[in-house]
A and B are shown apart, each in its own frame.
Chain A
């Protein structure tokens, strides 16, 4: 179990990760997937108007990647914290 200062550092690092990933979440889901769609639809990739593609495919893929990055990042953070606690 980490000590107090270590626990605080962990929580702060955790909050930073959350802020960053949730910003990406909002931009992907509400930005690319909704607000920017009329503009993005001017561009085409293969047969997809780009905005439509984000709304019905791309943003979902981004959500999956976000959770993957989060789980991986937290694993590394926890390993580092456990090591710091061991050395202290």
Chain B
């Protein structure tokens, strides 16, 4: 069977599985719809959190990004895992002990204010839409490459899938589908990684192959990382493993970006809400452990894949006559993700990074998607990678859509406008909101806004500068007041958003103009510090929270039963 046949078979089988799970776990109560009846086992919740968290960006793009960044790729690896330590220690058990359905609900109750609740709803919806558009786009890209349909058709199929299982099964359906999706995506990620590691270094475990010697090609006998550094020196590029050297990020910027991504991770509502679905605070702690374990399996493999791809790509392509380019190269040229432009007219491919002279234009996504073809793996592996990319994108999209739906039905319609709404009615509103959100997400997937890359900085920066301080202080201080939190969130978000808009969209200037040398990706760290400072200062000068709120804080601090 060819690649396309295998892709139809494997993607079709996994989709049938997801729909089957959704039908089996369809729900009838709001508690099931929002938090899966709070009965998910810790291990299953860990897997679901892993799939929820690892998006199209982690699966498709991250290894490619690291491959081009070298050491600097650590900002993603550390930033997107270290946040789970903050989440496990500072938020998950307490928010589970609080025991309601959504993040804006905690903010509204703890800060005894409808204004705070509405600010939180707006943040949650904005962050989630920003994120979900990218997932739908990922679905479209995978479909168009592997099934040779248009991106529009691909997005429409993805929208249809999520529509069925999110509106039917709510959080319960999403949770168990995500467990299946984790299994699909991790197998799809590991098989090519193991195959390439065995082939290049003789070690089947990529994490070991990463530090071993190369067994074939002109670099045979040298350590893999030394070989890459040598290739970089020969090409006049900064060393792959080098830190803070010319052409790489500065130390202060690395620190700021990493912290912003960590804190942003801990403040993302679709991640936090996963810890509401277990029975006790104790199980929330253990599911954080399982979640990071499952995430770390992919996150420690990705940098190894990045290094293998780096050697493979330069070795197979640099100085090779275009007429002799391998078959995968011409396959992927058709998608526009890789392009050759013979500037000096010698008929050979010269690799380089200077945009003015380089002859190769490579999209980062190609590193993972084309990997099985570069390593000449069988067609079914290529098809499995397609199914894995779809699993990563769909699982994250579903988690985000549930946040949007519950924010609208529970925190806006029920809490602000129609407090007497019946449960049956609320469930209907939740389903309609989820359905509407899927359609809007699909629209953005087909017509992506130009500033997609900037919006990722937005999602993390805003989560870092808004939710994280409000949630942490809400648990760890009884003295923080409604006025303090609202002022802190507003200023934190306002500052962060203004900085990102100024440098990313209005084009205020390059790295030499950044404040304190911090890039827009890292400015969430400054926004967060500003939020903490403002919240604590304003709280000092405003009357303390009412007694029942202080008692609530004491209650959520107690051990779980």
Partners in one complex: yes
A contact set with B: CB distance below 8 Å: 1-2, 7, 10-11, 14, 18, 21-22, 25, 29-30, 33-35, 37-38, 41, 45-49, 51-53, 55-57, 59-61, 63-64, 66-68, 70-71, 74-75, 77-78, 81-82
B347 at the interface (CB under 8 A from A): no
Q: For the complex, would chain B's binding face be called helix, strand, loop or mixed by DSSP majority?
A: helix
Known: A70-B89, A71-B286. A35 touches B559 (CB 8 A): no
Q: Output the nearest chain B residue to A49 by Cβ-Cβ distance.
A: B241
B288 at the interface (CB under 8 A from A): yes
Known: A63-B85, A70-B89. A52 touches B255 (CB 8 A): no
Q: How far is the CB of A49 from chain B (nearest CB, A)?
A: 5
| Docked-complex contact B85 and A61, CB < 8 angstroms | no
- For the complex of A and B, list the 8 residue pairs with the smallest distance between their C-beta atoms, beginning with the closest: A47-B223, A55-B74, A56-B303, A46-B211, A47-B211, A37-B243, A52-B241, A71-B285
A-B contact count (CB 8 A): 137
Q: For the complex, would chain A's binding face be called helix, strand, loop or mixed by DSSP majority?
A: helix
The docked-state distance in angstroms from the alpha carbon of A4 to that of B73 is 48
Q: How far is the CB of A23 from chain B (nearest CB, A)?
A: 11
| Docked-complex contact B90 and A60, CB < 8 angstroms | no
The docked-state distance in angstroms from the alpha carbon of A55 to that of B307 is 14
Which of the 9-residue segments B180-188, B289-297, B365-373, B446-454 touches chain A? B289-297
| Docked-complex contact B212 and A46, CB < 8 angstroms | yes
B129 at the interface (CB under 8 A from A): no
Enumerate chain B residues within 8 angstroms of A75, measured Cβ to Cβ. 282
Q: How far is the CB of A22 from chain B (nearest CB, A)?
A: 7
CB pairs A–B below 8 angstroms (18 shown): A1-B558, A11-B557, A18-B90, A30-B255, A34-B74, A34-B254, A34-B255, A35-B255, A47-B212, A47-B225, A48-B210, A49-B225, A56-B300, A57-B300, A60-B77, A64-B296, A74-B285, A82-B559
| Docked-complex contact A64 and B289, CB < 8 angstroms | yes
Enumerate chain A residues within 8 angstroms of B554, measured Cβ to Cβ. 7
The docked-state distance in angstroms from the alpha carbon of A35 to that of B150 is 46
| Docked-complex contact A63 and B243, CB < 8 angstroms | no
Number of interface residues of B (CB under 8 A): 51
Enumerate chain B residues within 8 angstroms of A60, measured Cβ to Cβ. 77-78, 81, 296, 299-300
| Docked-complex contact A51 and B243, CB < 8 angstroms | yes
B contact set with A: CB distance below 8 Å: 66, 71, 73-74, 77-78, 81-82, 84-86, 88-90, 93, 207, 210-213, 223-226, 241-244, 251, 254-255, 258-259, 262, 282, 285-286, 288-289, 292-293, 296, 299-300, 303, 554, 557-561
Enumerate chain A residues within 8 angstroms of B84, measured Cβ to Cβ. 63, 67
| Docked-complex contact B89 and A21, CB < 8 angstroms | yes
| Docked-complex contact A25 and B78, CB < 8 angstroms | no
Q: How far is the CB of A37 from chain B (nearest CB, A)?
A: 4
| Docked-complex contact A48 and B559, CB < 8 angstroms | no
Q: Output the nearest chain B residue to A22 by Cβ-Cβ distance.
A: B89
A18-B89, A45-B211 given; 10 more Cβ-contact pairs under 8 Å: A7-B554, A7-B558, A34-B243, A47-B224, A52-B71, A55-B71, A59-B78, A70-B289, A75-B282, A78-B282
The docked-state distance in angstroms from the alpha carbon of A75 to that of B243 is 40
The docked-state distance in angstroms from the alpha carbon of A48 to that of B85 is 26
The docked-state distance in angstroms from the alpha carbon of A20 to that of B285 is 17
Enumerate chain A residues within 8 angstroms of B86, measured Cβ to Cβ. 25
The docked-state distance in angstroms from the alpha carbon of A78 to that of B226 is 49
